[in-house]
């Protein structure tokens, strides 16, 4: 029985530009899979607060053979992407409904420590029974440790949690860890997926 639903932040609650990767790989003339492979091998550096996301994007581009000029262009594309982010208000309303239905609500994000203040400033922190941010705890998705921290803070067993994330990489290991993975694509698809789990909004 599901007692808690946890959400990723970037790409789920905060909507990001889905064309960012395409713009970068088209500009660098590389395969999208190649960008993802290198980026995901390095993003632990920003997830644990050791480097900024901009530094990791620069490192990724450099590893893929980009020149200094190309790296600057990648960072320019990233800045435009960052400036166009917006909140998924429809999902925020859905989370409030889930909370009213007495589900425990968690937030689990690979992000900077500054995310907590951002959530407080946006009046979103109060939506969550527990907030776990990778840079605060020193581990990151999909590592089992960060999920265990979330489950302990919410006070539920792993099998009682549905976790919603927009990347398959973050959901790797769900079977071993024991939670129910839900890949986020759209709000409508999420409603369907939750309904299939017996959660009606």
Whether residues 74 and 115 share a domain: the answer is: no
CA distance 73 to 81: 12
Choose one of 83, 107, 127: the last residue of a domain.
Answer: 83
Looking up residue 139, the CATH number of its domain turns out to be 3.40.50.1000
- 114 or 131, greater pLDDT: 131
- H/E stretch holding 23 reads helix 20-28
Residues 95 and 71 both lie in one domain: no
Based on the domain organization, do 61 and 141 belong to the same domain? no
Domain hosting residue 34, numbered range: 20-83
- pLDDT tens digits, one per residue of 59-89: 999 999 999 999 999 999 888 766 667 899 9
Residue 151 and residue 54 share a domain: no
Q: What is the pLDDT of residues 14-39, one digit of tens each?
A: 987 667 778 888 999 998 789 988 98
Same domain flag for 11 and 24: no
Is residue 201 a part of any domain in this protein? no
Residue 77 forms part of a structural domain: yes
Residue 201 to residue 192: CA distance in whole angstroms: 10
Same domain, 192 and 150: yes
Whether 162 has a pLDDT exceeding 80, the answer reads yes
Given this model, what pLDDT does residue 36 score? 86
- Beta-carbon contacts of residue 125 (< 8 Å; ≥ 6 apart): 116, 119, 131
Reported confidence tier of residue 163, pLDDT bands at 50, 70, 90: very high
Asked which of 68, 83, 98 is the last residue of a domain, the reply is 83
Same domain (yes/no): 11, 51 = no
For the chain, what is the domain count? 2
In the chain, pLDDT over 90 holds for what percent of residues?
77
Q: Are residues 69 and 115 in the same domain?
A: no
- The reported pTM is 0.83
Co-location of 122 and 151 in the same domain:
yes
Same domain flag for 187 and 90: yes
Q: Which distant-in-sequence residues (6+ apart) come within 8 Å of 127 by Cβ?
A: 92, 95, 96, 99, 105
Same-domain status, 45 and 91: no
User: pLDDT (tens digit, 9 = 90+) per residue, 76-127?
Assistant: 988 876 666 789 999 999 999 999 999 999 999 999 888 999 999 999 999 9
Last residue of a domain, one of 52, 83, 114: 83
Helix, strand, coil % in the chain, rounded to nearest 5: 55, 15, 30
């Amino acid at each position: 029985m599901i007692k808690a639903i946890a959400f990723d932040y970037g790409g789920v609650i905060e909507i990001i530009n889905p064309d960012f990767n395409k713009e970068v790989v088209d500009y660098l003339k590389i395969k999208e899979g190649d960008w993802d492979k290198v980026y995901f091998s390095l993003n632990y550096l920003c997830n644990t607060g050791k480097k900024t996301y901009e530094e990791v994007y620069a490192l990724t581009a450099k590893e893929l053979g980009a020149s200094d000029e190309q790296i600057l262009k990648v960072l320019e594309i990233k800045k435009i992407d960052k400036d166009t982010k917006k909140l998924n208000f429809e999902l925020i309303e859905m989370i409030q409904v889930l909370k009213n239905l007495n589900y425990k609500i968690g937030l689990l994000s690979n992000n900077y420590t500054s995310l907590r203040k951002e959530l407080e400033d946006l009046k979103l922190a109060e939506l969550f029974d527990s907030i776990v941010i990778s840079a605060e705890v020193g581990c990151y998705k999909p590592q089992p440790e960060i999920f265990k921290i979330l489950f302990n803070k919410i006070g539920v067993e792993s099998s009682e949690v549905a976790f919603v994330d927009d990347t398959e990489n973050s959901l790797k290991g769900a079977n071993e860890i024991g939670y129910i993975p839900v890949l986020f694509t759209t709000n409508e698809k999420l409603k369907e997926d939750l309904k299939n789990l017996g959660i009606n909004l």
